[in-house]
Amino acid sequence: MKKIDRYILSKYLTTFFYCLLLFTAIVVVVDISEKTNDFAKSKLSATQIFMDYYIGFIPRIDAMLFSLFVFISVIFFTSKMAGRSEIIAILSSGVSYNRFLLPYIVGGVFLSAILWMGYYYVVPKANLKWGNFEAAYIQGPASTESNSGSYKQKLYFKIDSNTYVGIRGYDTVLKSGNGFFVQRFKNSKLVYNLRADQFNWDTATEKWKLFYAMERRLDSISERITNEKEKLISYNFKPRDLRKDNYLKEQLPTPELDEFIRLERLRGSEMLSTLLVERYNRDAIPVSVLILTIIGVVLGSRKVRGGSGLHLAIGVVISVLYILFGRFSLVFATKGNFTPLLAAWTPNIFFGLLAFYLYRRAPK
């Protein structure tokens, strides 16, 4: 690595991390001002609030804005270099434009890898910590009249191609419920039926404990009935699978999310498209870091009369367009017939083509 590479790479990384810390501090201050009353009502110490809430909140926000921080940082320091005629001097010395881009690409790949690892393991754990605090102290106790809170009603799903499970009511916090039944069919005929008045999750055995369970096994000529006061039984769903909330997909590390998607596909879940978009986004969003880096370099390296201000204005517009593309793709995938894979990668495809077009037109 030559001196010019170290110079550009150090500028890239220091500007990015400075931008990240600055915006994070601003977001935290705004969030504290909005939630002061909630924190006061929780009666938790400042240390507890930081450890239980902001340790989860900060990685969540940083991951959401990571690509945009990269984009703004690249435009800012590159336009400063262009304004001081440093880029003209570099290219005039015989360095090709592709060679000039190399340290940017190295920095982009490095930050993409950090974000990719974060989305796979760190951010889901942070989302879980943040979500638990929100549920306990910010949102307040959930109503039992709807499925929007911790109490779920009238759940019905498949656990394999022939077996269905139904639940009248389930508390996701206590991990217990009532009105549990299982039905298994063969050739469109009921061959097995299980019902239990109450049930809960047994953490010691990691199985479901049923209370006052009755099993019926049917064939063409007979029926066998078994009654048990308590029954431990294992199924291919766990307490997390019964939550069915909007935050669950964001709180699962990628290996667990892959397994959850496999089971939801088997069950024919309606939330499968949303889960797939979340899974594909964990690979697509880190790639956007590299794409936006290239766009930022090409735009920022032009020496224009407006200087950094004009470049930053263009950067803000492109950032807004990128966010809008992502939102539209998500809506079309979850509410329409848009393929989840395309929904996750469409912003990258569009802005990748834009990056190529701008690169071809860049003065070299």
pLDDT of residue 43: 85
pLDDT band at 324 (very low <50, low <70, confident <90, very high): confident
One domain, residues 79 and 208: no
Position 292 in a domain: yes
Same domain (yes/no): 136, 93:
yes
Provide the b/e sequence for 290-316 (b: ≥16 CB within 10 Å): bbbbbbbbbbbbbbeeeebeebbebbe
Structure tokens at 89: 């001097």
Average pLDDT over residues 69-74: 89
Per-residue pLDDT at 328? 75
Helix residue ranges per DSSP H, 157-271: 254-267
Let me know whether 56 and 115 are in one domain: yes
At 194, the pLDDT band (50, 70, 90 cuts) reads very high
DSSP state of 137: I
- Which range, of 132-146, 221-235, 293-307, averages the lowest pLDDT? 132-146
Bigger pLDDT: 26 or 361? 26
Please say if the pLDDT value at position 148 is more than 60. no
Q: How many domains would you assign to the chain?
A: 2
Residue 266 lies in a domain: no
**Which tokens sit at 104?**
């940017």
| Angle at the Cα of 245 from the Cα atoms of 244 and 249, rounded to 5 degrees | 90
* Weakest-pLDDT range from 145-154, 323-332, 344-353: 145-154
> Is the same domain home to 183 and 216?
yes
Question: Count of alpha carbons within 13 Å of 302, Cβ hemisphere only?
Answer: 17
As separate numbers, helices (DSSP H) first and strands (DSSP E) second, the chain gives 10, 6
| pTM value surpassing 0.95 | no
The answer to whether residue 334 scores a pLDDT higher than 80 is no
Based on the fold, state whether residues 11 and 126 are members of the same structural domain: yes
Instruction: Look at residues 103, 123, 106, 124 and name the one whose alpha carbon lies nearest to residue 115.
Output: 123
Count the alpha carbons within 13 Å of 351 in the hemisphere toward its beta carbon.
Answer: 30
180 shares a domain with 156: yes
pLDDT at res. 254: 92
338-362 per-residue burial string, b: 16 or more CB within 10 A, e: under 16: bbbeebbbbbbeebbebbeebbeee
Mean pLDDT throughout 241-258? 82
User: Would you say residue 92 lies in a domain?
Assistant: yes
What pLDDT does residue 353 have?
A: 92
**Is the model's pLDDT at 136 over the cut of 90?**
no
Report which secondary-structure segment, H or E, holds 18: helix 3-42
The reply to whether 261 falls in a domain is: no
The C-alpha atoms of residue 85 and residue 154 are separated, in whole angstroms, by 67
Check whether 149 has a pLDDT greater than 80: no
Helix (H) / strand (E) containing 20: helix 3-42
Domain extent at residue 214? 151-244
Mean pLDDT of all residues belonging to the chain: 85
Is residue 226 located within the same domain as residue 187? yes
Residue 345 lies in a domain: yes
Please check whether residues 58 and 198 belong to one and the same domain. Answer: no
The residue among 334 and 136 whose pLDDT is bigger is 136
Of 244, 260, 291, the domain-final residue: 244
- Given a cut of 50, whether residue 145 has pLDDT beyond it is no
Sheet holding 176-186, edge to edge: 151-158, 163-171, 176-186, 189-202, 207-218, 223-233
pLDDT of residue 146: 47
